[in-house]
Amino acid sequence: MPNPSASEAPPAADDAAGDGPTTPAPDDDAAAERYLEIKATVDADPEVAKGAQFPQLKADLEAIANGAGAPTMRANAALLLGSLFDVRGESLRASGYYQHAATLVPDDAGPHMALAVALASTGDFEGAVKAQQQAATLDPDNLENWLALGELHTRAGHQDEAVQAYVGYELRRKGLIDGLTLHDEAGTYVVGVEERIGCASALAAAADQGTGVALVYALRTDPDPTVREAVARVMGVHRLDLYLPVLQTQAKEEADADVKEAVSWALAEIARDPVRIDPTERPRLPDDDPRAAQGEVPRAEAAPEALTEASTLAPAAPAAADGGGAPPAVPSAPKEAPEAKGEPAGSAAAEG
């Protein structure tokens, strides 16, 4: 893929010579190796962005972002360099690198999410809305995308659009809960184990009591230990104190070692920093997406009721032409982001 035009390139690329050293474009194997080295350095100490190593790190990442052969590797480098500028407090320059990454891998939601964060930090809420809308379109089952989109519409003064974004969030949250809990009269779940794990993991962005009720039900009733483990870990992410009784009971009764470890971790997380919410409240947690750091998340009208075998019975599907039926549709489980070597990691966007 050819190098981007001037309009597509990160704005910092033009003044690279004045900022520090330049690095020749490496071949793809060398680019991947150097990228992973830099990423490990940044993961270990993000403040390296403010230190003496920054000019060389910048030069090496720019060389990869502008000269590597694989668009995915170039996008990864641009995302990482953008995150370094974010650490330096230079959100406008960071946004240029995120835009560059979005141009290289237009079907990946991660760069658009990072771009929305950076643009919102500069006060460009219209631009942030546009980027976040694209992220939600590309990854509609990521609940954080809809919360962020609603928040950005609110901050941009788009009240009707904000309401629609929150409606989109609620529809998908309900679909994920259904995917995690619904079963037929024989007790067979409407989706398989991997899909239920994906649904549970996606609900980490929904720290409300309604979601909590569903997670409690899944922890106590799902027959597969890998699903129970995933549910316990999401409870640890939420840190809601309402989980304590069920986790304490599960710790005593659980037979699977991996689930017991996840339950112990969740209990420790809640003990470390418990989150208490009203029955209809969705709290703002310290690690929430920064795009949703202000404003009010809509509340439910009433406290949720506990789920039961009857309430999680899948509705009968309309009979098909051959007399068969189909299970109710649920959002697809989020895919794991590929590793950094030669592939764009959607999670890299969050590092900004």
Residue range 118-168, pLDDT digits in tens: 999 999 999 999 999 999 999 988 898 998 999 999 999 998 999 899 888
**What would the CATH number be for the domain defined by 11-139?**
1.25.40.10
Is the predicted pLDDT of residue 2 greater than 60, yes or no?
no
- Provide the pLDDT for residue 245: 94
- Provide the pLDDT for residue 202: 93
Domain ranges of the chain: 11-139, 183-281+289-315+329-335
Residue range 223-243, pLDDT digits in tens: 999 999 999 999 999 999 999
Token output for 295: 């404003």
Residue range 35-91, pLDDT digits in tens: 999 999 999 999 999 999 999 999 999 999 998 888 999 999 999 999 999 999 999
- Provide the pLDDT for residue 345: 37
Instruction: State how far the Cα of 145 lies from the Cα of 76, in Å rounded to an integer.
Output: 20
**What does pLDDT average to over the chain?**
81
Is the predicted pLDDT of residue 186 greater than 50, yes or no?
yes
Average pLDDT rounded to a whole number, residues 239-251: 95
Residue range 94-121, pLDDT digits in tens: 999 999 999 999 999 999 999 999 999 9
- Provide the pLDDT for residue 311: 75
Taking alpha carbons only, the member of 129, 125, 70, 124 closest to residue 101 is 70
User: In this structure, what DSSP letter does residue 311 have?
Assistant: T
Instruction: State how far the Cα of 19 lies from the Cα of 256, in Å rounded to an integer.
Output: 55
Is the predicted pLDDT of residue 346 greater than 80, yes or no?
no
b or e along 193-215 (b: 16 or more beta carbons within 10 Å of the residue's beta carbon)? Answer: eebbbbbbbbbbbbbbbbbbbbb
